[in-house]
Amino acid sequence: MAQAVQLVDVWRGDLLESTHWGHAVVCDDTGQIVASWGDPDAVIYPRSSSKMIQALPLITSGAAARFGLGQEHLALACASHNGATIHTDRVTDWLTMLGLGDDDFRCGPQEPADIPARDTLIQTGESPCQMHNNCSGKHSGFLTLSQHLGAGPEYIDIDHPVQQAVRAAFEDTTGQDSPGWGIDGCSAPNFQTTVLGLARAMAWFAAASDRADRHSEAAAQLTQAMMAHPDLVAGEGRSCTALMRAMGGQAAVKTGAEAVFVAILPGKKLGVALKIIDGATRASECAIATILAGLGVLDANDPVAQAYMNAPLLNRRGIDCGKIRPAFTF
């Protein structure tokens, strides 16, 4: 079995101070590896990087059409958002359309990452609610699917029809039976797969427009929704939003907790998946930007690319003390 490889270096002055190791795979639409670093067969939790897979049954079941969901709803279903007003207002409207409220969520409350939203809560003396949870868009999709199926309220249970549909979609797109599952930060099941399996799923999404079956049409809709609304997928100051804006519709990207990152490249019919084994987000952002630049969908000289591929280490006085840089070449 291959070992993890050094993917990102952290330099302070002229000394290599820290390194981040991991695994990464670029896969084509036939399921073949185009490039890889580390062990493609390393088993991981994809965490929130798999939200577009979790959203597939929302469309394929007919639930999205029945409830008149548009592109913004689909982007939110794939989101790990900041809890800004543009996110929570839309989630609120979505739940109202379903005749539901915050108490119907099972994701738990979360303080918003968006500073204006956080300040508003402090000024008004209000507490964060479940709509502020970065996964509330995904859970709105789960609730929509559950209503469509006439299923019970505990939609996060592993044996609930919603999660059974998600598992089927996950194993179909990765091309692998999941060896296990764990409970994610938002309380929903998260299914294990390999880095290769996750990259294979992203490549399947990338080539979806070449196929005419219902699942592929759903995948194409979700990919287009993410690229059309990068602000809803994450938010200001977030790498997913910044990178998708910089690539101008050439790729959909999604981060996941513990330093997972994926990319869907429709124009090249390629999928990318990576995992930094120490869980450092600064490293996953650097690595995904490096791979996207190597694949020609991100200009390496773009300030957005440089912000991740040559990220400055700033101290509390704003002094540039070093750099975060890729330790590999494409």
284 alpha carbon, distance to own chain's centre:
12
Question: 1-33: buried (b, 16+ CB within 10 Å) or exposed (e) per residue?
Answer: eeebeebbbbeeeeeeeeebbbbbbbbbbebee
For residues 213-224, give the mean pLDDT: 98
The model scores a pTM over 0.75: yes
What mean pLDDT value characterizes the chain? 97
Q: Report CA torsion sign: 47, 49, 55, 60.
A: negative
The neighbour count for residue 137, using CB atoms within 10 Å, is 30
Residue 1 has a pLDDT of 52
What is the Cα–Cα distance from 235 to 179, expressed in whole angstroms? 33
- Sorted by where each starts, the structural domains of the chain and their CATH numbers stand as 38-322 (3.40.710)
Q: Dump pLDDT digits (tens) for 42-101.
A: 999 999 999 999 999 999 999 999 999 999 999 999 999 999 999 999 999 999 999 999
What is the Cα–Cα distance from 295 to 197, expressed in whole angstroms? 20
Q: In this structure, what DSSP letter does residue 100 have?
A: -
What is the Cα–Cα distance from 211 to 30, expressed in whole angstroms? 13
Tokens read off for 190: 């998260």
Contacts of 134 (CB under 8 A, 6+ apart): 48, 79, 80, 81, 82, 83, 110, 113, 186
For residues 197-214, give the mean pLDDT: 97
- The answer to whether 142 and 153 are in contact (CB under 8 A) is no
What is the Cα–Cα distance from 249 to 297, expressed in whole angstroms? 9
